Structure 1
Amino acid sequence: MSAGGSYPRLSPFKTGLACRCPRCGRGRIFSGFLKIADRCPVCGLDLGGEDAGDGPAVFIILFMGALVVALALLTEAWFSPPYWVHLVLWGPLILIGSLLLMRPFKGIMVALQYQHKAGEGGGRLG
């Protein structure tokens, strides 16, 4: 915390990717795998009204879809493997990639909501 009780303006992308509090940059924002904590344990920011909704899932679906389709087409063009190879390769890649990206993308969305003062109902308490 800086002088006067104010907090420095932090990058929503850095704090979101690190899954840290958008105000202080130190506290964890998740209390479970994807459950947003009620408050930041360091600065006490009320995170209860923050909800990223389906935004992170939509971005991940678009990103993973484009990546897997491109890789599947290249694999098919270069190697022409049987269809079961595609199933074995791309199914787990989609599942694992989506799960790994969900927390950072949700963290970014929460940090952007905080930065732009866009909580549930258009207002925020913190």
Structure 2
Amino acid sequence: MTESQAVQAPHIANDRPTKPALIKGWRRKCPDCGKGDLLHSYLKVNDNCSNCGLDLSGHRADDGPAYLTILIVGHLMAPILHVVYFAYRPEPLVTFTVFSIGCLASSLYLLPRLKGIVVAYQWARRMHGFDNRT
């Protein structure tokens, strides 16, 4: 074995591509086939994919999607609030109403999509319950 061969990282034969899995997760579809639903109701992850039968019960999304949602919504709304306040000086009740609705709507939109991304990332990287599956 040469020195250049020893330095190279070992290649996993069944490597799962991350980017397509994240796109499927954003769409709330199975990270493997992209056809079966990942979630039922609002945030509940299905135990198995209805199309390919992938076992999804081993995921560990926990509070990750909520933290990501707060991070994204906060980083979007805070600068917008700053610009609106100093440029237009709206009434406090108008500001509160508009930005409360904006934060709520964007959070409700992002939360299931980010949960799909977290589950898909875990599948692609063979984390937690997805490590033994092909």
Shorter chain as normaliser: what TM range? 0.7 to 0.9
SS in 2 for 1:112: helix
Contact 1:49 1:124 in 2 (8 A): no
User: What is the TM-score normalised by the length of structure 2?
Assistant: 0.81
**C-alpha distance after superposition, 1:48-71 (max 9, x if no partner):** 111211111111101111211111
Contact 1:9 1:23 in 2 (8 A): no
* Structure-1 separation of matches of 2:63 and 2:72: 14
Return the match for 2:118 from 94, 109, 119. Answer: 109
Q: Runs of 4+ in structure 1 displaced over 4 angstroms?
A: 122-126
Q: Does 1:51 align with 2:51?
A: no
User: What is the TM-score normalised by the length of structure 1?
Assistant: 0.85
Match of 1:38 in 2: 47
* Structure-2 separation of matches of 1:125 and 1:53: 21
Could you say what the CA RMSD is over the residues aligned between the two structures, in angstroms?
2.0
Q: Does 1:100 align with 2:109?
A: yes
**C-alpha distance after superposition, 1:7-39 (max 9, x if no partner):** x85712210111111111111011221000010
2:89 aligned partner, one-letter code:
S
Unaligned runs of 5+ in 1: 1-5
Identity %: 31
Q: Does 1:89 align with 2:98?
A: yes
**C-alpha distance after superposition, 1:79-110 (max 9, x if no partner):** 11121111111111111110100111110110
Unaligned runs of 5+ in 2: 1-13
Match of 1:62 in 2: 71
* Structure-1 separation of matches of 2:132 and 2:62: 16
* Structure-1 separation of matches of 2:78 and 2:132: 40
Question: Measured at CA, do residues 124 and 87 of structure 1 come closer, stay the same or move farther in structure 2, by a change above 3 Å?
Answer: farther
Contact 2:22 2:31 in 1 (8 A): no
* Structure-1 separation of matches of 2:57 and 2:133: 9
* Structure-1 separation of matches of 2:45 and 2:60: 8
Match of 2:29 in 1: 20
1:64 aligned partner, one-letter code:
V
Match of 2:3 in 1: none
Structure with max Cα Rg? 2
